[in-house]
Amino acid sequence: ETMPYKSIIYGGVQPGKVIIIQGVISPQAKRICFKLRYITGIALEYSLRFDENVVVCNTYDDGTWGKEEQCGCMPFKRGQPLQVTIFCTHQNFEVFSNGEKVHTYSHRYSNLENIDVLDIHDYSNAKMFCLPAY
């Protein structure tokens, strides 16, 4: 798929929902953003900032961005394959990179069933799957 990429998450995000994003990072990538959206905001923006060598999470609600949370490391590399798995629990989103947990982000927006769109920007060859957890 070419970017930006947008997909509907049927049934919304609920505890137990797993979202898997795979692709190849462009060798020239500056930033890649994965956004879990609802009608008036963004419950989770997971932003890979290659230009700053950092991963940042945030929420956009009621017309305002919250306080950014930085991950401890940048587990992604330009020009390399990528797999991001976002697992939703009752309290947070758990984000995994290539099978390893890299971030836990507490829900700032609690109406999880209203989160029904995945947007990806500045990303190549993306495929998105929504799978139930086992």
What phi, psi does 13 have (nearest 5°)?
Answer: -95, 130
What's the domain count of the chain?
1
Average pLDDT in the 10-15 region? 91
Q: What is the DSSP string of 47-63?
A: EEETTTTEEEEEEEETT
Instruction: Give phi and psi for 75, each to the nearest 5.
Output: -85, 5
Q: How confident is the model at residue 131 (pLDDT cuts 50, 70, 90)?
A: very low
Q: How confident is the model at residue 21 (pLDDT cuts 50, 70, 90)?
A: confident
Domain membership of residue 52 as a residue range: 5-132
Q: From 32, 33, 12, 10, select the one nearest 109 (Cα to Cα).
A: 12
Strands 31-38 and 17-24: what pairing? unpaired
More confident residue, 49 or 22: 49
CATH number at residue 27: 2.60.120.200
Instruction: Work out the mean pLDDT of the chain and round it to a whole number.
Output: 85
Q: What is the mean pLDDT of residues 19-35?
A: 86
Sign of CA dihedral 105, 131, 35, 31: positive
